[in-house]
Structure 1
């Protein structure tokens, strides 16, 4: 599980959406990406639907571990509405692999666990997330879960 001290949302959001001109160099772009991917994972864990939506491209696609597919952030948010409103799901992740192509695209493979304690539900998965830089901002464009035993 990734445990980091919480950073103020405003700071993370500012880093994630800072214009490339400010990020400018490779180190700046890397910091911007790090903030964006943390916001993606932490906003889901923390039931922050607004931030979760903000770090996804409108055209994002999600392939759930069940095989269900949702196209577009509106459809994804509708499917995840129960998670954000119910505030019961427990989300943990560990990064297993990362590739970042400058300030263009990135992929992270996480080992994830999602639990609903009230019903005894527990799902382990490998979850791959692809990010794209649109010239100003890093956004998640695709994620896919593969169930683990």
Structure 2
């Protein structure tokens, strides 16, 4: 896929992630709104995980709140998306790490907040690095879209 196609696809996905709950709001029913937000959340969390896996720094940044905080499995803490992106710069630039995840637990509170716990693996085969962790990600809905506001990794043996 060319860079132009990736940019177009990213724009379409971000637009869909913003508009999905608006369609649900048209019915003005709490259940419809909650279902719309749940569908929108599904897309947002997938964009979060896949953008990291696919080294798509622009989309990864776009699905995070400016005030986001990350507690890495190493214990390092970064506050603010700029600080997080600086710390992750080599991941996006080197494009060699392998990222995989399996969802373990999820709770979505309507159009307010959501949490997902993943079992993750981050590998850099060239240097023999492999880290398994539980990674918990908390999202908040800003009235238009879901944004990641906090994630924390806990190493696994």
TM-score, normalised by the number of residues in structure 2:
0.87
Alignment correspondent of 1:53: 61
Deviations 1:16-71 (A, max 9, x none): 22274334222211111000000000000000000000000000000000000000
Alignment correspondent of 1:9: 10
Are 1:95 and 2:103 an aligned pair? Answer: yes
Q: RMSD in angstroms over aligned alpha carbons?
A: 1.2
Q: How does 1:1-149 map to 2 (within 5 A)?
A: 8-18=9-19, 20-24=21-25, 25-149=33-157
Find the residue that maps to 2:144 and give its secondary structure: coil
Deviations 1:76-134 (A, max 9, x none): 00000000000001000000000000010000000000000110000000000000001
Q: Which protein, 1 or 2, shows the higher relative CO under an 8 Å CA cutoff with sep ≥ 6?
A: 1
Change (3 A) 1:15 1:119: same
1:129 and 1:16 map into 2 onto residues whose CA distance is 18
More off after superposition, 12-21 vs 25-34? 12-21
Residues 19 and 135 in structure 1, CA contact (< 8 A), matched pair in contact too: no
Q: How many residues align?
A: 142
- Larger radius of gyration, structure 1 or 2? 2
Q: 1:14: Cα distance to partner?
A: 2.0
Residues 19 and 136 in structure 1, CA contact (< 8 A), matched pair in contact too: no
Find the residue that maps to 1:13 and give its secondary structure: helix
Runs (5+) with no aligned partner, structure 2: 1-8, 26-32
- Higher normalized helix content (fraction of residues): 2
Residues 134 and 153 in structure 2, CA contact (< 8 A), matched pair in contact too: yes
